[in-house]
Structure 1
Amino acid sequence: MEIRNGQTITTFERISRVLFIILGALITAIGLEAVLIPNDIIDGGITGISILFSHMTGYSLSLFLFVLNIPFIFIGYKELGKSFAFSSVIGITALSMSTSLLHHIPSIISGDTMLVAVLGGIMIGLGIGIVLRKGGALDGTEILAILIAKKFPLSVGEVIMSINVLIFSFAMLIYGLKGALCSAIAYFIAMKVIDMVQAGFDESKNIMIISDHSRKIGDAIQAHLGRGVTYIAGEVGHTNEQVEIVICFINRLEEPELRSLIKTIDINAFVAINGIVEMHQY
């Protein structure tokens, strides 16, 4: 097959992106319809509001998921661009359709409320994380938070937290204190799983080491971990002493061995470790 200007690769990437977004929406829908909702536990954000409205009115969850997210798609288009809006339309539509099709699916688990919250949180976090990693969204809460944060002296995180405190407080009136607390636990777990999915399971780390034995540490890293290192000249601020800084990149599985290597060479070394979501070499 002839490839011109990378068009075939681009088309494949777009198809792959759409399929992953649909997969993420399906996993989220299963987490909602087969785990959380049958056990009177809700999610946060617009999804949580949709569940509450569906419970109070008797109308389908899929209807509220679609209708309540429509305004945020337009906001996302203006704030984050056409690609994000397109991906979000696919994701939200897939989620709405999936919840409708899976509405009568038997509950995967029931009875053990804590286990329900954990499993539901993991499934929803995995689904949403996949969609976010592919550039879309299943919930308009973050878009709303970005808009509010621009107009008021609040961070996006503070806005999201405030919205969810209100949602879970209202949930307490319907599902009781236990239901509201389990919903908050499920949401917290989902957020952690989302972070893990977005960062990737092969998360890289950027290591910066300041030591009087920088060359010895650098040689040990190359010999034992097989990682390349870079040396950067530096200067201590209060003494004007010249130092050599070692920079290297490792994956998180190599971190314990790296720490051990450094301690055997210079127990007084200063080590800074930063997580990297993605790393590419072009």
Structure 2
Amino acid sequence: MTKKNTSLNYFFKFLFLFIGSTLAAIGLEFFLIPNNIIDGGIVGISIMVSYLSNYPLGMFIVVLNIPFLILGYNHIGKTFVISTLFSLCSLSVWVSILHPLPQLTEDLLLAAVFGGIILGIGVGLIIRYGGSLDGTEIVAIILDKRTGFSVGEIVMFFNLFILTSAGLVFGWDKAMYSLIAYFIAFKMIDITIEGLEETKAAMVISEKSELIAEKVMARLGRGVTFLNGKGGYSGEDRAVLYLVVTRLEVSKLKNIIDEIDENAFVTISEVHEVMGGRIKKRAIH
């Protein structure tokens, strides 16, 4: 990769980190914070501490994350810490700029829904481009390697504690709305990172695998890979088909297989990311 391409990649990386921070600030300042609805993680703690102390939120967002950034630098890497610090500083600046502006709604449900959507898209962009707004994720990544709990389970534990604390500070009705905003933001993060089009991986074991492959390539426009397999019981060599399809193509794939071999063994699983190869469907004439 040339120096020019590397510089361009860094430019777009930090541009999208900045956009993500801007969206997160909009979700917080226009919807969530004015209605005493909080997010999870360190941002949620910062909102509560800012409310109780009357000091600026932006200051706490950066200061409370610093110990986690130091921890992340030692255990995860410099690039992640730089991206996270840039995102946190951008968010801190934007919440300070937007704070004096009026809120867009006083309806708690609308605030929770739209605040969660906008915040989730913003955080999703930041995560997609290598940063984070939540120091608890750093702790979760480290603990994941040392305990039997997953990153998601550890983050969920932290956030349940934080959202329970919100009930003590703002009242239990606001805590429940915070929970709604949190789950909406969580889903929007997944959509932003993985995209709206869900991808599935299929493995097919059949005595008519070559014919199935031909029909799949002709009717779905998808490439098919043959893997060498061997039956554990029969000891016979079998060709295993591997292919990637979209969620909308799953039913078409099943129909093709049923038409050719209704006794074929098929497994279909989620794919979180696909790189290389012919991913996009080509036009079929």
Normalising to structure 2: TM-score of the pair?
Answer: 0.90
Distance across 2 between alignment mates of 1:250 and 1:154: 31
* 1:154 to 2:145 alignment: no
Q: State the partner residue of 2:91.
A: 95
Identify which of 9, 14, 21 aligns with 2:5: 9
1:119-146 Cα shifts (integer Å, max 9, x gaps): 1111111101101111111121100222
Q: State the partner residue of 1:86.
A: 82
Distance across 1 between alignment mates of 2:175 and 2:258: 46
How much does 1:12 deviate? Answer: 0.8
Q: Is the 8 A contact 2:29 2:98 kept in 1?
A: yes
Q: State the partner residue of 1:143.
A: 138
Q: State the partner residue of 1:133.
A: 128
Distance across 2 between alignment mates of 1:6 and 1:203: 33
How much does 1:267 deviate? Answer: 3.5
Q: State the partner residue of 1:240.
A: 235
Distance across 1 between alignment mates of 2:274 and 2:195: 8
Distance across 1 between alignment mates of 2:10 and 2:60: 28
How much does 1:206 deviate? Answer: 2.5
Distance across 1 between alignment mates of 2:59 and 2:16: 23
Q: State the partner residue of 2:182.
A: 187
Q: State the partner residue of 1:120.
A: 115
Structure 2 residue identity aligned to 1:225:
L
Q: 1:271 and 1:148, CA in 2 relative to 1: closer, same or farther beyond 3 A?
A: closer
Q: State the partner residue of 1:77.
A: 73
1:182-261 matched pairs, under 5 angstroms: 182-261=177-256
Distance across 2 between alignment mates of 1:224 and 1:152: 47
C-alpha root-mean-square deviation of aligned residues, in Å? 2.0
- Greater shift, 46-55 or 66-75, is seen at 66-75
Q: Is the 8 A contact 1:206 1:274 kept in 2?
A: yes
Matched residue count: 277
How much does 1:235 deviate? Answer: 2.1
How much does 1:153 deviate? Answer: 4.5
How much does 1:116 deviate? Answer: 2.2
Structure 2 residue identity aligned to 1:104:
P
Q: 1:155 and 1:229, CA in 2 relative to 1: closer, same or farther beyond 3 A?
A: closer
1:146-198 Cα shifts (integer Å, max 9, x gaps): 23444554332222121111111111112222211111121112112112211
Q: Is the 8 A contact 2:222 2:244 kept in 1?
A: yes
Structure 2 residue identity aligned to 1:178:
D
Q: 1:274 and 1:153, CA in 2 relative to 1: closer, same or farther beyond 3 A?
A: closer
Q: State the partner residue of 2:282.
A: none
* Structure 2 unaligned blocks of 5 or more: 279-285
Identity of matched residues, %: 42
- Greater shift, 47-56 or 102-111, is seen at 102-111
How much does 1:246 deviate? Answer: 0.8
Identify which of 254, 270, 274 aligns with 1:274: 270
> What SS does the corresponding residue of 2:105 show, helix, strand or coil?
coil
Q: Is the 8 A contact 2:202 2:268 kept in 1?
A: yes
* Structure 1 unaligned blocks of 5 or more: none
> What SS does the corresponding residue of 1:54 show, helix, strand or coil?
helix
1:236-276 Cα shifts (integer Å, max 9, x gaps): 32343443211112233433322332233333432223314
Q: Is the 8 A contact 1:207 1:274 kept in 2?
A: no
Distance across 1 between alignment mates of 2:36 and 2:17: 27
Distance across 2 between alignment mates of 1:153 and 1:252: 32
Q: Is the 8 A contact 1:204 1:250 kept in 2?
A: yes
Distance across 1 between alignment mates of 2:120 and 2:162: 18
> What SS does the corresponding residue of 1:271 show, helix, strand or coil?
strand
Q: Is the 8 A contact 1:203 1:277 kept in 2?
A: no
